[in-house]
Amino acid sequence: LPIRGVSEKRICIDIATADVKGHGKKMDHFSRLKLASEDNQNCSQSDDDSDLDTSQNFFGLTDDEFGAWLTGELANSPGRQQYKTVFDQAIVAIIKWRQRYRGNPKIWKRIFKKERVLKELIESAPIIHSVQIFVNENENRKDAPYTILDLCSGKGYLSMFLSEILPPEKVQKIILIDKAWAMCNAELLPHHINWDHIYGTIPDGNNDDGKEQDTEASTYFTTWPIPLHTSKQDLKQSCNPRQMKKYVFDRTDGPIIILAVHLCGTLALRAVNLFNLEPNVEFFALKPCCLPQMVHAQREEVFRIGKHSFPAEDVCSNGSFNKNNWTGPPRWHLEKKFQLWSDHLFQGIDVVEDSNPYCMEEKPFLGQKEKREVPIQIDGGFQNTYLLAERSPLTTNLWRKKNEQS
């Protein structure tokens, strides 16, 4: 694993996997997220330069004006009042991104696509809030600080927010895991996620304020408060759990946090399985996305996670999107299946709140888990489920509301 302070090389974690083409997802501003089959979408985001948003150019605004504009754009967004502090911190984080890429408009245009960034923030706000509580209210339980794994990260907006928001003394690194990254030190090809916003070289010259840039930081890697690392991995490969254990979990000092936002189909099963298998993972957050594709039902498969199993036919969907056009059963028809899918994922998380000491059979880890519904999708959207789990000892404020209701 890369260590903090190395700045002159592209820093990433290699796992031998085949390159897989990423597919982009375009969303209307604050629209409901779209369910899609796994063969039509994955969890990576397109990095085609042709998708650059050239219609909106914010270079003429001062940082204060840009921040005021962002605040206005987010004023009526879902979750803005419930997670006010997170949104305020995220606005400051986006301004810092803008300052970081000042003098490099190509990267800034690639990273800051308004609707995508704001959508990612709205989706991620409940998880950012929970991670903040977990990290800030825990004295590190081991000698080393936390490591965060961002599964199916895409470009890494969630990780970028966390790097700016969380205390660097408590989080040593964030690893962005996606099958669309290039291999370490490999040539960046068109189907890879462009990683210049992490490893790219900082151009020489002055910034927009006429001040000289810090030439000691030759790459953007050293400019992130919490270092961001990329790892090319395909979670669907059967060998992936062994590879993750060998190259990530066994080489990570200190406790681990796994975050999995908008994981499509069976990738959610893989995420739960990683939490179940690795005792060093102390906190887990999952936001399920699309349903598994119908091929699993046609094979009469039975999904198994932890000690829980269920037939694939109960949760699979034969619907799909093609260029934002839905083909399949009415969308409302999928809501019950999505709720059932979320329930099964929740049951598969192997933590229990209590354990019978006289029971001799193998027990799962003690801890707590919760299925939360946060209305971040509007106009008929129903993918509002967040699954949280923590291994003991528990973070009191993270579960206070649930315990009070109990």
Looking at the whole model, is its pTM more than 0.95? no
What was the pLDDT predicted at 322? 64
What was the pLDDT predicted at 355? 52
What was the pLDDT predicted at 281? 94
What was the pLDDT predicted at 323? 59
Question: Measured in whole angstroms, how far is the alpha carbon of residue 203 from the centre of its chain?
Answer: 29
What was the pLDDT predicted at 182? 84
3-state secondary structure of 308: strand
The pairing of strands 351-352 and 365-373 is parallel
Nearest to 152 by CA among 171, 178, 119: 178
Residue 313's identity, in one-letter code, is: E
What was the pLDDT predicted at 119? 93
What was the pLDDT predicted at 364? 56
Per the document, the length of the chain is: 406
**308 - beta bridge partners?**
305
What was the pLDDT predicted at 320? 64
What was the pLDDT predicted at 376? 79
pLDDT beneath 70: ranges in the chain: 1-59, 139-143, 205-217, 319-326, 331-332, 353-364, 379-380, 401-406
Question: Measured in whole angstroms, how far is the alpha carbon of residue 181 from the centre of its chain?
Answer: 15
pLDDT digits (tens, 9 = 90+) for 47-87: 444 444 444 556 688 999 999 999 999 999 999 999 999 99
Nearest to 376 by CA among 40, 129, 157: 129
Sheet holding 12-13, edge to edge: 12-13, 228-232, 171-178, 146-151, 256-263, 281-288, 385-391, 365-373, 351-352
Task: For residue 376, give every residue at least 6 positions away whose Cβ sits within 8 Å of its Cβ, in sequence order, or none.
Answer: 78, 79, 122, 123, 125, 126, 384
What was the pLDDT predicted at 275? 95
